[in-house]
Every structure is written in structure tokens, then in C-alpha cells.
A = this chain, B = another copy of it.
Amino acid sequence: MTSPIDETAQSTLMADIPHDQETKITIERKGQIVLIGINRPYIHNRLDPEATEGLASAYDAYDRDPSLRAAVLFGHGDCFSRGVDVDAFKAFAQSGKKMMDGPGFIDPLGRTKPALTKPLVVAVHGDTWNMAHELFLVADIRVASEDTEFGQDENTHGRFPGGGATVRFPREAGWGNAMRFILTGDHWGAKEALRMGTVQEVAPNRDAALAKAVEIANNIAACGPLGIKTSLASSHMALEDSQTALARLDDQYRALFTTRDFREGRDAQAQQRPPVYEGR
């Protein structure tokens, strides 16, 4: 049984996370959390079909692994990611192959089911453009380095944001704030993102942003995982139908009431010790 807070994870430096040029998506376990890194720094972390599938596969593995309580997404190198690798996607489209075909994948852009049922924290820095901003918007909690440059500028290129920004950007930032950037292609910074609510914390640099995201993930990992899953399920339901979400709360609460972790929460409080949750 692991301790609820993995202290070593607090001091994670991005450069310390193993990565080699062959691995487009790095996966690094740190106690009860997993760090998922986009690793194509030689091409500004642009995502080709293989990297996108690698993310989809990493999300699926995380979601199925009961020993993992939270995931942190980040980018190796000078930026989080400039978005899609257009040439690679074009070649892939011409090959007639299909992406994320079959089970074992969770769409990292959250367009199709299944979706993540567990929390995703993201730390961004440098260029965070287009598809990368859409991966960022899918995350539940978002930390940005002060040097982040956000962009959703597909319209300047004769395209449109087809990876979920038209749904999640206005929902998170308001119609006017989202349209102000989607319709012009103008870029914006971390402070503007904080003002608009797409970012929850601004950190002074990329390592501080990653450290903050890891700290948040460890705080999540110390919570009861059944409650965390129920919180996410109820909130996702509320996005679609708030009356149904409200009507289900009592049943969801009753289901937790009989679990071992519910008792552990009460026992730990009575005994003035940190709780240790097991997800049952």
C-alpha cells in the first residue's frame, strides 16, 4: 500500500523524466499518479497519428489501472505542442488506415466514447496551439507556465477547430471570450487564460508548472477514488442534463455510504490520522 502523498513526485523536473527519441509518448509512473509526456521536441511536439494513438492508448491504460489515481499530461522540450503534424496526418489519410480502430483507446480529444472516467491534470508551457489547446481543454484541471502562448488559429489557415474547441472553449471561457480567439486566430497568454477561466494556476516556468500539476495530482490521489469517480460522473452528466444529475445524487451518495473507503474516511478523521483509501 502506497502512502497517500508521494513526496518524491513533488520535486519532479521535466528533464529527469526518461525519454528517448524513439518514444513519441512517454509514460512514467510516480506512486499513484502517472505522467504522460508528448515527446517530439524536434518538431515542436506536433502530434502525428502514431503519437495521437499513443496518447489514446496511455489514457485507456490509465483509466483501467486501479492502482493509478490521477494522470498528468505535459510536453517534453521547449513547448507543450504546436498541435497537429499536418503532413503526417495527410499521408495517413491517403493510406486508407483508420486511427484508434478497435478497443484499447480513449480519444484524447474527447469527441467519442469511451471517455476518461478518472482525473486528468495538464501542465503546459511555450507554444500550445490548435489541437494541443484542444487536448488541454479536455483536461479537468489546467496549469500553465507564464511563458505559455495559446493559439486556436485554424481559421487563419482555411480550416476550423475540429478537435472539440467549438464545444469546450465557449463552455469554459464564455461565448465572447472563445469567439474572440477562435474567429480571429489571435494568440493569447497565460494571464488572459487565467482571467477567462481556462487555466486554474499560473506558474513561473515549465518546471514549476509541472511541479504544481504533480502536486494537484497527488492531492487527488490522496482522496477516495470512488468519490472522485462519482464526482466526475455526476459533473459530466450535469453538462448534458442537470435535472437528471441532481435527481441521481441521493443514489450515488447511498452507493458510497456502504463502501470500505467511506468508513475509512470516518475512522481516519476520528483517529486524527491520514486516511488510506483502497477504491472499494
Contacts and interface: CB of A to CB of B under 8 A. Distances in A.
Each complex incorporates copies of this chain amounting to 3
A261 B157 CA distance: 8
A158 interface: yes
- Which secondary structure dominates chain A's binding surface? helix
A55 interface: no
Contact of A235 (B175, B184, B185, B186): B175
A77 interface: no
Contacts of A160: 224, 226-228, 230-231, 234, 252-253, 256
Contacts of A199: 176
Contacts of A275: 156-158
A41 interface: no
A213 B107 CA distance: 37
Given A155-B223, A158-B277, A235 B167 contact: yes
Contact of A219 (B184, B196, B266): B184
Contact of A159 (B164, B171, B227): B227
23 contacts: A111-B247, A139-B176, A140-B176, A140-B179, A155-B223, A155-B231, A157-B224, A158-B226, A158-B264, A158-B265, A159-B253, A160-B230, A160-B252, A167-B234, A167-B245, A170-B235, A173-B174, A176-B199, A176-B200, A179-B232, A182-B235, A185-B219, A185-B223
What 9 A-B pairs have minimum CB-CB distances, sorted nearest first?
Answer: A158-B265, A158-B224, A162-B253, A166-B234, A160-B227, A155-B223, A157-B265, A184-B219, A174-B197
